[in-house]
Amino acid sequence: MKVLASYSIKGGVGKTTAAVNVAALAAEEGRRVLLWDLDPQGGATYLLRVRAKVKGGGRGLVRQRLRLVDAVKASDIANLDLLPSDFSYRHLDLVLDGQRKPTRTIGQLLAGLSPDYDVVILDCPPSASLVTENVVRAADLLLVPLLPAPLSVRTMDQLLDSVLTTSKGNPPAVLAFLSMVDRRRSLHRRLVNELPRERQDLVDVVIPVASAVEQMSVRREPLVTSSPANPVSQAFAQLWQAVIRRW
């Protein structure tokens, strides 16, 4: 079982969009995929039309009053299951802090899922917290959406430092990609050309900004299944291939 996390300290950079579409692509290949929506905002849960509610909340899961697998809901996409968000996840840091191994709890919970799933995708909340420390410890690969802006690059460096510190000598692979790229803007065009050459952790895949992505929240379905021929879907397909190559 491989654990992939859609991860960024910043919000609104396309984490959930990437997580949902990559999950759908993995499932389409016949892999058994679980998407865990760790964000209390529940974007991925909403997109997959599942009710954002977990019996016993985050506390129940972490303290294993409810088995992770019993909280799972099937999505409408074959092979893709969802562990829904719950508003109580906003206190997940506090719950994790009360555990004996606070930074390894999520990894330990996920280990019990390996007979059921080939891929687990974690959709993370936008923060640097105990939850994200857990994610870094649990993940084999971090998928990091990056806005084409100098400030984002600085944030990326901070993230890499934090990953190195958190992972205690066993860091996950990091795969960053440019997200929400508007080619009408000269800065975006320049950074799209320059950044992949300068940064080895940046894969040469560009997810364009598009109304089709916004439409996802209206259709409540991954773009790669509703419009597989759309250029954004094609870009996500390239991203998924890059993920496979990196594993």
Binding mask 117-156 for other proteins (x = CB under 8 A): -x--------------------------------------
63 touching other proteins, by CB under 8 A:
no
Torsion of CA 146, 192, 204, 129, to 10 degrees: -10
In the block, residue with structure tokens 């974690």: 122
199 touching other proteins, by CB under 8 A:
no
Which window, 66-74, 141-149, 165-173, 227-235, contacts other proteins (CB under 8 A)? 66-74
- Count of other CB atoms within 10 angstroms of residue 8: 29
Closer Cβ to other proteins, 34 or 206, answer by number = 34
53 touching other proteins, by CB under 8 A:
no
Residue ranges in 88-205 assigned as alpha helix (H)? 92-97, 105-111, 130-138, 150-167, 186-198
Q: Which residue in the set 24, 62, 68, 71 belongs to the binding site for other proteins (CB under 8 A)? A: 71
Instruction: Count Cβ atoms within 10 A of the Cβ of residue 237 and give its class: 0-12 exposed, 13-18 middle, 19 or more buried.
Output: middle
Which window, 65-73, 139-147, 153-161, 195-203, contacts other proteins (CB under 8 A)? 65-73
Q: Which of residues 77-96 bind other proteins (CB under 8 A)?
A: 78-79, 81
Report the C-alpha gap between 157 and 245 in whole angstroms: 23
Site size toward other proteins, by CB under 8 A = 19
Torsion of CA 60, 44, 128, 130, to 10 degrees: 10
Residues near other proteins (CB under 8 A) are 28-32, 48-51, 71-74, 76, 78-79, 81, 118, 220
